[in-house]
Structure 1
């Protein structure tokens, strides 16, 4: 004979009625009518063919068999509720773990995370930043935004397109320094970004400017510090057009030359293990980021 399982609603009503010892209070706690409570109890008693309550002057009270039944099912109801809450919390708190190059994380990703969160509120976002290429097999990282030349075997890598090396300066710097062509930069304070793929020597060589000894007013190992230095009118930088967007849009930095002096670079990649393609959260992030990159060209 198969086990007989009463309707969950009837069990919930029975539990609340036993707790309050009152039909009206049980109805209020469940947001249903007192007659509905009486109906559910009557249905459960009919199914069990046992009397579960008897009436008192102040309400209702469990019979002996009713107390035994309550003791037997209370643990199961608690387990069911806990399991349901656990699943709900897991769905709400599923973590998307992103590792990113620091400047990309600070200047490009962080200002746009609110958009991603609104589109995918079910994810908790964890972001780690460093220039190191993390080992996916030794971490819980889902996707990595890497900076540098592509040389990662066994991983899927999507290049971020339409990124250029661009020369930038504060508007006041350009008012004080007349710069019409690349060779004029040799008379200016240059700021070096040590991590930038396109260094000043390469930029000058690309534009056929011969140099022997090149000196810098400032040199930084983080691009965001180079941006800040240029923003404070300390010199000229050659940096990523992608990362420069917020400074250009705000007018804090402006391109020194026209677009014909911009040099295309493949600097950033979206990297992840092949097996991560099957994860919905990874696909959601990649699709969203690619759309953002397309819209911010």
Structure 2
């Protein structure tokens, strides 16, 4: 069935005229005559069956329908342009679109990714932040680096590493002490992570303690946010030390207590949708990533 879509030329002319609020300036941008712009937009209005501009001797102004349509068309044309430039830039190369949990992506994956690029220069890896599972069918992602229990329908899971959480804080909160005793720690503001709402409760439980306010405190979505909040003295945060190595090395953050809690069966996984498991590019990335994770686990002892 034929799609009910206006001509690309009409959409481009409309987007330029809407952005400039002027047929004359749109014509100059597109190297067309003003009458050509008028014809394209008139044809588009006939196609849609509604007016997109109000015309007067002082110029043109978008109607309410025109404003709404212009916003949608601009974003769609931007997407087409991005996809076109991406295809033009590949020149026979393979591109992988990965969804990654943000702090893990920036602190662990990115410092190692150059090694994969050196091994597989024909494969380009693009990263986009995603903190929660999603339907692969609704996105352009080829795979995801995810923290959880690997229960993700329609995917193949590859374990990378567990997550060990340790309380950290600004050295100012220690007030000269080497660490905080549990009673003192429990009275301080406990920084909560949105995606791990029971983290503090599980940490205290692993020590056989019940703390009434273990789920209260400022809620932040990312480990990077927790680290910044802790660094600025807002409270104590539970963060895997390998994600804040620079902050610990610089003394901006210090361990508040030596106890480390491992997040049970949950961990970091590479999730590949079943329809993509035979992709040569993904197989190469998967094999490299699992080797890197295995090496990291051995180094951690």
TM-score by length of 1: 0.61
- C-alpha spacing 1:292/1:148, structure 2 compared with 1 (3 Å): same
1:177–1:188 CA contact under 8 A, matched in 2: no
2:261 is matched with which residue? 263
- C-alpha spacing 1:113/1:124, structure 2 compared with 1 (3 Å): same
2:174–2:180 CA contact under 8 A, matched in 1: no
2:151 is the alignment partner of 1:151: yes
- C-alpha spacing 1:87/1:193, structure 2 compared with 1 (3 Å): closer
- C-alpha spacing 1:160/1:183, structure 2 compared with 1 (3 Å): farther
Return the offset for 1:157.
0.7
Alignment of 1:63-102 (within 5 A): 90-91=91-92, 93-102=93-102
2:129 is matched with which residue? 129
- In structure 2, distance between residues paired with 1:150 and 1:219: 24
Alignment of 1:222-233 (within 5 A): 222-233=222-233
**Gapped runs of 5+ residues in structure 1?**
1-85
Return the offset for 1:207.
1.0
1:169–1:256 CA contact under 8 A, matched in 2: yes
1:239 is matched with which residue? 239
- In structure 2, distance between residues paired with 1:199 and 1:269: 19
Q: What is the CA deviation profile of residues 174-209 of structure 1, one whole-angstrom value per residue up to 9, with x for unaligned ones? A: 235664433331232321122226521221122122
- In structure 2, distance between residues paired with 1:87 and 1:238: 44
- C-alpha spacing 1:156/1:89, structure 2 compared with 1 (3 Å): closer
2:193–2:223 CA contact under 8 A, matched in 1: yes
**Gapped runs of 5+ residues in structure 2?**
1-86
**Larger Cα Rg: Structure 1 or Structure 2?**
1
Query: What value does the CA root-mean-square deviation take over the aligned residues?
Result: 2.8
2:97–2:142 CA contact under 8 A, matched in 1: yes
- In structure 2, distance between residues paired with 1:288 and 1:123: 12
TM-score by length of 2: 0.60
1:66 is matched with which residue? none
- In structure 1, distance between residues paired with 2:160 and 2:143: 14
Alignment of 1:174-193 (within 5 A): 174-176=174-176, 179-193=179-193
